[in-house]
């Protein structure tokens, strides 16, 4: 379905929106989808996350170009399909099919009190560091990940700095006088 209420939900260049993947894949039959800027967005539950992504990979989406996390603490009222209950965190995965010349975006809602999702490492080994970054900066744990450790912050760092409720620290800076003309 094309969501005309979303700004930029236009069809791709050269014609109408592509046929929704939900019409092609049985695994997506009851998964809410929408088109945004020409790309299909699939909203799946955590329980079906790996199965849906696996079906997309089998359908030709062989490249995972990005995986990231989002903290919607201050935007809990964001626009979502009626069947999707918004949670504080969201995992966003962008998959590419070279043969179809299409992207699909998978969005998974993750509750703050149980910030755990399964890893995609065994489907797309390249997501290892992206999942570690989401863990390090947002505190979302990926079960069965081969190395769920920090990647950007020191190992003894407390907290997750990209969470919207993370306290902003202050480091005093001392400036030296600028050198005068010579």
pLDDT in tens, 62-119: 999 999 999 999 999 998 999 899 999 999 999 999 998 899 999 999 999 999 999 9
| Model confidence band, residue 5 (pLDDT cutoffs 50, 70, 90) | very low
Q: What architecture (CATH level 2) is domain 21-143?
A: 2-Layer Sandwich (3.30)
Q: Where are the domains of the chain?
A: 21-143
pLDDT in tens, 22-65: 778 877 888 898 888 778 999 999 999 999 999 999 999 999 99
Q: What pairing do the DSSP bridges indicate for beta strands 63-71 and 89-97?
A: antiparallel
What is the reported pTM?
0.82
Closest by Cα among 156, 159, 171, 166 to 74: 166
Closest by Cα among 180, 181, 150, 164 to 70: 164
Residues 6+ apart with CB under 8 A from 38: 10, 11, 12, 13, 17
pLDDT attached to residue 27: 79
Name the residue with tokens 């081969």: 146
Q: How far is CA 103 from the centre of its chain?
A: 14
* Tokens coding 152: 């950007």
Residue 171 has pLDDT above 70, yes or no: no
Q: Is 16 helix (H, G, I), strand (E, B) or coil?
A: coil
Q: Do the Cβ atoms of 48 and 68 come closer than 8 Å?
A: no
Dihedral over alpha carbons 86, 91, 97, 100 (to 10 degrees):
10
């Amino acid at each position: 379905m094309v969501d005309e209420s979303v700004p930029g939900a236009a069809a791709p260049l050269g014609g109408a929106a592509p046929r929704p993947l939900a019409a092609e894949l049985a695994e997506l039959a009851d998964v809410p989808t929408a088109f945004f800027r020409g790309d299909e967005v699939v909203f799946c539950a955590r329980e079906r996350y790996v199965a849906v992504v696996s079906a997309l990979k089998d359908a030709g989406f062989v490249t995972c170009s990005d995986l990231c996390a989002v903290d919607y603490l201050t935007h809990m009222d964001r626009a979502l399909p009626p069947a999707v209950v918004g949670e504080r965190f969201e995992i966003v995965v962008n998959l590419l099919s070279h043969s179809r010349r299409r992207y699909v975006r998978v969005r998974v809602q993750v509750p703050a009190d149980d910030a755990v999702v399964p890893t995609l490492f065994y489907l797309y080994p390249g997501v290892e560091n992206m999942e570690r970054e989401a863990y390090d900066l947002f505190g979302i744990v990926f079960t069965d990940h081969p190395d769920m450790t920090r990647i950007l912050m020191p190992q003894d760092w407390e907290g997750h700095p990209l969470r919207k409720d993370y306290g902003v620290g202050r480091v005093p800076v001392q400036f030296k006088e600028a050198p005068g003309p010579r």
